[in-house]
Amino acid sequence: MEEFCLRDDAPEEACGVFGIFAPGEDVARLTCFGLQALQHRGQESAGIAVGDGETILVEKDLGLVTQVFDEAALAALQGFVAVGHVRYSTSGGSGVWEAAQPHISAIDQTLIALAHNGTLVNTNAIRARMIDEGIQFRSSSDSEVAAKIIGKVTRETSHLRRGIQFAMEHLEGAYAMVLASPDALYAFRDPNGIRPLCIGELPDGRGWVVSSETCGLDIVGATYVRDVAPGEVVRFNAEGMVAEQAVAPRRHAACIFELVYFARPDSVLDGQSVYQARRAMGRILAREAPVEADLVLGSPDSGVPAALGFAFESGIAYADGIVKNRYVGRTFIQPTQALRLMGIRLKLNPLPSVIGGKRLVVIDDSIVRGNTSRQLVQMLRDAGAEEVHLRIASPEVCWPCFYGIDTDTRDQLIAANLTLEEMNAWIGSDSLAFISRDGLYEAVSGVRHAGFCDACFTGNYPVEIPAPLAKRSFALAEEGKWHD
Ligand code: SF4
């Protein structure tokens, strides 16, 4: 039986983080704005922790930022340093309040609050050792292990900076973290720089901001300063900003999928405009895989810039032929039988008056399991399309991600199990083509840094995957059994 999934058939995002040090400002409200700008990175829970010089107050809950924070909640969070988090679960359980962030760790009488984007691959053994030492955990979240290990070493050494350094030396995987003590903000990033983290400054020296993406800086009026470097820890307090290389940088491996799909199009990642990268992907796709068609459509929303690029390069008219319902939050969709039957129509609706009788080329950002592409093609045919040609702005996703993105196990990845012709037949498109790896790299050539992680296309993982995890995740579907 075909596996059905109500979420988009695209990699699921895994958290956004925001931090601010700004005496005299309403830091809770500014953090709330920052989290709203980063809401696309996670819709499961939201949280803000504020430091006032003596202690830390935290408010977090399941739901969207606007559901968790009202005026009363923000008014209760008074202070001058704050960290915030929006979550999509890849570790620690889905829909679990205890896994909502920021995580708090108590160091004697002092508290710290930690917010994490990414996934750590070696926390099971560390957690087991800490439990043996009598440390209690409230969730199965890898991020809570990070918070507790920083707290433990800080207590032992009386230096928060050493606690952070110890964690960076011992945690493996992807982490872009912001941490608030009662009087300072810290930002640090794994030595491969897998997940993004950038620094901004408020006007007139009013303070410092850290965000997963530059759209989080823009919304609070901060000016981009630079990205946090791989392996670097940056502290912001009353004396200003101090940066140190805490651990040696390794092969730079920024997630290339941020530019394909995860990041907001108005963000700039390490000098590369996300929107312009996606337009370039579309232009390159049009050169690599041309097709005769009447209209170019983008699968809303992330396929639209690439569709505009494809239309520009090919000379085929772009049309808004698919309307997206923006108000279907996946958090609130229950997978009942009735909703299963509605499938993709919960989120997307075609415009028969635009596409009827037309040969369409439809641009999407990626294909992971293939279910949504199949339903989309059928829906467009039902609405009167004469032909549906799919063009995909990323190469075939053949390997799962272990660094903060939920892309399933290999047996569920369509491109790992079927040939291009088989995929085209299963999805039901008239033709199917993916951008080449070289084409993708050409499209993102505006970045300033030295390298990308592209493991979900190549299986070339920048951080070693523990053998038991790899064994569970790398098995292909049995021959002839894919999607049975
Ligand atoms: S495996 Fe893919 S999704 Fe995961 S970090 Fe690497 S490029 Fe990004």
Instruction: Please say if the pLDDT value at position 331 is more than 50.
Output: no
Instruction: Please say if the pLDDT value at position 334 is more than 50.
Output: no
Assess whether 144 and 64 both reside in one domain: yes
What was the pLDDT predicted at 174? 94
Extract the tokens encoding 98: 């205890």
In a domain, 362, yes or no: yes
Extract the tokens encoding 164: 């952070």
Instruction: Please say if the pLDDT value at position 270 is more than 60.
Output: yes
In a domain, 38, yes or no: yes
Instruction: Please say if the pLDDT value at position 407 is more than 90.
Output: no
Q: What is the DSSP letter of 271?
A: T
CA distance 42 to 212: 12
- The residue whose CA is least distant from atom 8 of ligand 1 is 255
> Could you tell me if the CB of 257 is within 6 A of ligand 1?
yes
> Could you tell me if the CB of 390 is within 6 A of ligand 1?
no
Assess whether 133 and 229 both reside in one domain: yes
Among positive and negative, which fits the CA dihedral 274, 275, 279, 280?
negative
Rounded to the nearest angstrom, the distance between the alpha carbon of 384 and the centre of ligand 1 is: 37
The residues with which 233 forms a beta bridge, in sequence order, are: 188, 244
Model confidence band, residue 333 (pLDDT cutoffs 50, 70, 90): very low
Domain count of the fold of the chain: 2
Assess whether 281 and 227 both reside in one domain: no
Rg, C-alpha atoms of the chain: 23
Rounded to the nearest angstrom, the distance between the alpha carbon of 368 and the centre of ligand 1 is: 13
What was the pLDDT predicted at 5? 33
C-alpha 2: how far from its chain's center?
Answer: 27
CA distance 113 to 49: 6
What was the pLDDT predicted at 336? 58
Catalytic residue among 5, 15, 401, 453: 15
C-alpha 352: how far from its chain's center?
Answer: 33
CA distance 317 to 384: 18
Domain end (from 216, 250, 284): 250
Which amino acid appears at position 444 of this protein? Answer: V
CA distance 463 to 369: 24
Give the 3-state secondary structure percentages of the chain, helix then strand then coil, rounded to 5.
35, 25, 40
For residue 174, which atom of ligand 1 is closest to its CA? 5
Assess whether 78 and 205 both reside in one domain: yes
Instruction: Please say if the pLDDT value at position 6 is more than 50.
Output: no
> Could you tell me if the CB of 405 is within 6 A of ligand 1?
yes
What was the pLDDT predicted at 150? 95
* Nearest-5° Cα angle at 133, 127 to 137: 45
- What's the mean pLDDT when you consider all of the chain? 90
**Tokens 């272990």, located at residue:** 402
pLDDT tens for each residue of 191-229: 999 999 999 999 999 999 999 999 999 999 999 999 999
Rounded to the nearest angstrom, the distance between the alpha carbon of 401 and the centre of ligand 1 is: 5
Q: For residue 207, with 0-12 CB atoms within 10 Å meaning exposed, 13-18 middle and 19 or more buried, which class applies?
A: buried
In a domain, 98, yes or no: yes
In a domain, 458, yes or no: no
In this structure, how many other beta carbons lie within 10 angstroms of the beta carbon of residue 95? 11
Domain end (from 189, 221, 250): 250
Q: In percent, how much of the chain has pLDDT > 90?
A: 73
Q: Which of 85-99, 250-264, 302-316, 459-473 has the lowest mean pLDDT?
A: 85-99
Extract the tokens encoding 58: 């935290």
Q: Average pLDDT in the 252-279 region?
A: 96
Q: Of 92, 55, 250, which Cα lies nearest the Cα of 168?
A: 250
In a domain, 4, yes or no: no
Assess whether 334 and 193 both reside in one domain: no
Which amino acid appears at position 34 of this protein? Answer: G
* Nearest-5° Cα angle at 255, 254 to 261: 140
The model's pTM: 0.92
Domain that holds residue 330: 268-447
Model confidence band, residue 40 (pLDDT cutoffs 50, 70, 90): very high
Assess whether 231 and 362 both reside in one domain: no
Extract the tokens encoding 137: 């955990």
Q: Which of 296-305, 324-333, 387-396 has the lowest mean pLDDT?
A: 324-333
Extract the tokens encoding 478: 């049995």
Extract the tokens encoding 447: 């970045």
Q: Of 268, 290, 120, which Cα lies nearest the Cα of 198?
A: 268
CA distance 234 to 241: 7
What was the pLDDT predicted at 337? 54
What was the pLDDT predicted at 139? 83
CATH number of the domain residue 47 falls in = 3.60.20.10
- The residue whose CA is least distant from atom 5 of ligand 1 is 255
Assess whether 154 and 69 both reside in one domain: yes
Which amino acid appears at position 82 of this protein? Answer: A
> Could you tell me if the CB of 453 is within 6 A of ligand 1?
yes
DSSP string, 346-385: GTEEE-HHHHTT-EEEEEES--SSSHHHHHHHHHHHHTT-
pLDDT tens for each residue of 346-363: 788 999 999 999 999 999
In a domain, 262, yes or no: no
First to last CA, the chain: 5
Q: Average pLDDT in the 248-252 region?
A: 95
What was the pLDDT predicted at 476? 86
Assess whether 188 and 145 both reside in one domain: yes
Assess whether 119 and 21 both reside in one domain: yes
pLDDT tens for each residue of 81-112: 999 999 986 555 556 788 899 999 887 777 89
What was the pLDDT predicted at 469? 80
In a domain, 467, yes or no: no
Helix (H, G, I), strand (E, B) or coil at 266: coil
In this structure, how many other beta carbons lie within 10 angstroms of the beta carbon of residue 236? 25
DSSP string, 155-182: HHHS-HHHHHHHHHHH--B--EEEEEET
Strands 295-298, 359-364: pairing is parallel
In a domain, 280, yes or no: yes
Assess whether 245 and 276 both reside in one domain: no
> Could you tell me if the CB of 455 is within 6 A of ligand 1?
yes
Q: Of 214, 436, 392, which Cα lies nearest the Cα of 302?
A: 392
Q: What are phi and psi of 36, to 5 degrees?
A: -65, -35
> Could you tell me if the CB of 454 is within 6 A of ligand 1?
yes
Domain end (from 219, 250, 281): 250
CATH number of the domain residue 324 falls in = 3.40.50.2020
CA distance 157 to 162: 7
For residue 452, which atom of ligand 1 is closest to its CA? 7
Assess whether 146 and 295 both reside in one domain: no
What was the pLDDT predicted at 12? 54
Do 198 and 210 form a contact (C-beta atoms < 8 A)?
A: yes
**Tokens 């092969």, located at residue:** 251
Catalytic-residue membership of 15 = yes
What was the pLDDT predicted at 99? 81
Assess whether 161 and 277 both reside in one domain: no
- The residue whose CA is least distant from atom 2 of ligand 1 is 456
Rounded to the nearest angstrom, the distance between the alpha carbon of 251 and the centre of ligand 1 is: 14
Which amino acid appears at position 260 of this protein? Answer: V
Strands (E), 75-144: 81-87, 103-107, 110-117
Rounded to the nearest angstrom, the distance between the alpha carbon of 256 and the centre of ligand 1 is: 7
